Structure 1
Amino acid sequence: MGSVQRAMRLLESVAEHEHGAPAKQLARETGLALPTAYHLLRTLSHEGYLRRDKGLFFLGEAAERLSGSAARQKRRSTIVEALAHWRDSIGAPVYYAMYRGGEIEISCVSDTPGNPAVQEWADFRETAHAHAIGQCLLSQLGEDARRDHLDRYPVRAITPYTVRDEDALLRRLERTGRMAPVVERQEYALGAVCAAIPITVGSTAATIALSLPAQQADRLLPATRQLQDEIGRLLGSLAISISI
């Protein structure tokens, strides 16, 4: 445990020196004997946590991977906390999804036993045309990317309310507008109505969505407006969390 603590102190000290630092300086800053510092620096370099260049030590690829993982976890925590807040304030399940690598990804869902999320009874990736999340993401894509997706996952009716063909879907998406909310009523799941709000950061299409039981359909538009307002207030933190 003592060796681990000393190694961590060295890593922290190296991280503070963007342009690198020599062993003697690192030993002095960490309060380690020079032979101990040399031994730990060699070990950390061998394992890839540090790299040595012209007598100076820098963070290595292994340490940078750890840093990247921690940053991703922090970004995910931001989204999880935001979704839980909106879930409780609106009284509805809230979803976060992205379009990445040509596929729909439901990255996070926040619900409760009293307000459960819509169950994935038909593959979300293959039925983007039928649910608000998918329609919202498709509406943010360019024409070529949108047609590529629909070539791979053709439009098909999965409930009596699902859009009937690709032409009808494309007309709907064009009318919706690239950054306008999307609403669907029982097109993916009977007994559920949903809305999705688009978020775009750089080239990533994303959405925050909510669902309600069909008997609460009169709440859908007010709840969507409330969610839009909530997202607007937290957009800064969401912007750096988009890639979880």
Structure 2
Amino acid sequence: MHTTEWRKFLIPYENAVEELKVKFKSIRTELRTIGEYSPIEFVTGRVKRVSSIIEKAKKLEVENEDIAEKIEDIAGIRIMCQFVEDIYTVVDYIRERDGSDLDIVYEKDYITNYKESGYRSYHIIINYPIQTALGPKVILAEIQIRTLAMNFWATIEHSLKYKYKQNIPIHIEGRIKKAADAAFKLDQEMSGIRHEIRQAQKMFEVRSKTISNILRNIHALQKAGRTKEVIEFQAQFNKVWENTEVVDLKKLDKEISNFIDEIDGIN
């Protein structure tokens, strides 16, 4: 294929990556908005470079006309999670969508059945329908779900494979394998205290949101010319802000909100 043909060929894949990123980011946003824990930490996506597609096709002995049907990861989405348990929650989310806006072709669990190199991740190959200027098209895409530790290790290993053209020296390979085991041990340790971690994160989010509400309302009072109340509420805020207890901040937030409701009712 010529450059122009490749550009035309990749357009549906580029659109699919953008759509899928939006869909999974929306799940995260929705859960956080309603105060629920999100198993999705962040989402990235990419379309394989033409050189990488050609190289993989050659390795798998795939003809150019068969690339769309036999190269499964031209479009790729990566979903990062905090805990191993979160990965399987995300997998369930994807399974729930099977038959609606995507079709699962097959799954590969490289966490339970990790590769000899130490690579761990969960892969789902999907058929994804996309609308193009020339009409509807169904393409293959790969969704990878992994923890932050798994992703750190995989990124380093990928760089080494690129440097050594897939032939990593044995002494480095051994150290990389040990690093993979250490990364997974870290994931296991974090899973052991995930309840405490999630509680701490939720407390931080509530505290941040409450402080934002207080400052926004004080600013609104300042704009309304309520100088006396602004000075009083600011003094209270300065006092409770130093206290790590969220309950005091929430009380102040409610007090300011109630006062604003009262003066709005009078006006």
Report the TM range for the smaller structure's normalisation.
under 0.3
TM-score (norm 1): 0.22
User: Larger % of helix: which?
Assistant: 2
TM-score (norm 2): 0.21
